[in-house]
Amino acid sequence: MTAPDFDAETVSLDWNDAGTVATLTVDRPDKLNALDETTLRAIPDALDAARDDARALVVTGAGEKAFVAGADIAHMSQLGVAEAYDYCQLGHAVMDAVEAFPVPVVAAVNGYAFGGGCELALAADIRVASENALVGQTEIDLGIVPGWGGTQRLARLVPDETARRMVFLGERLDAEACLDAGLVGEVVPHEECVEHAQGLAGRIAAKPRFALQGAKEALNQVHESPQSAGLEYEKRVWSGLFGTHDQQEGMEAFLEDRDPEFE
């Protein structure tokens, strides 16, 4: 199944047979899937096309070498301060849209993920790495810093020392180092990476949709609010799910010792 209302040259959107898992693929393998402006603008359109039907989303890159190797350095090299700020705003809007997508997002990091590619993976909820993955916030070697959320999301995910080494030195972590640092949740054979991520997304998609949305929103509050506000938000989400079909079905199925049939 392919979303009928989405068509872009450098981003594709495909669906599993059940129509519950969408896979967004950055499709510029000849450029190692680098995020030029056209691609950046296409990603939110793909997210909008998937929003109503997807119960989970996979984000990955085309080809055998790269997830997303970074941003468009040739374009960036010509920017002044004002233009750089606008480009930064665009990148932030894309990463924010991935992070705020209403259901869980799984990044299949199937190769190089540098700069903006690392930031795209960081905006996902869960990360699966190919054994060939190589991940880094390498902007320091361009005379700049991570500008699409990397300084914030990376430092919240990995130990402070690891984040500072990656940003200050441009250190690149291989798949096992990413796993050790907590940057990814698992490492799988390269040829299985995308399919494995889709299978994981399928397991997520089988869970109750409104509960998934509420859980994601509540978890995201950890990074945006004091704990007291996050706890209050959790209370509202938790209690607001009562009376929904999935809450009633889930609890009845538990009490009746059977598998639930969620909407």
Active-site residues: which are they?
Answer: 119, 139
DSSP, res 256 = T
Q: Listing from the earlier edge strand, what are the strands of the sheet with 134-136?
A: 66-68, 112-114, 134-136, 172-174
What is the 8-class DSSP label of residue 2? B
Task: State the CB neighbour count (10 A cutoff) for residue 74.
Answer: 9
Element (H, E) at 25: strand 21-26
How far from chain centre, in Å, is Cα 257?
A: 35
**Cα 187 from Cα 189, distance rounded (Å):** 7
The Cα–Cα gap between 160 and 154 comes to 9
Q: Which is nearest to 71 in space by CA: 28, 7, 103, 134?
A: 28
CB atoms inside a 10 Å sphere around CB 224: 9
With beta carbons less than 8 A apart as the criterion, state whether 24 and 13 touch: yes
Q: Are 60 and 111 in contact (CB under 8 A)?
A: no
Token output for 119: 């930031």
* 200 Cβ neighbours under 8 A, 6+ residues apart: 106, 126, 128
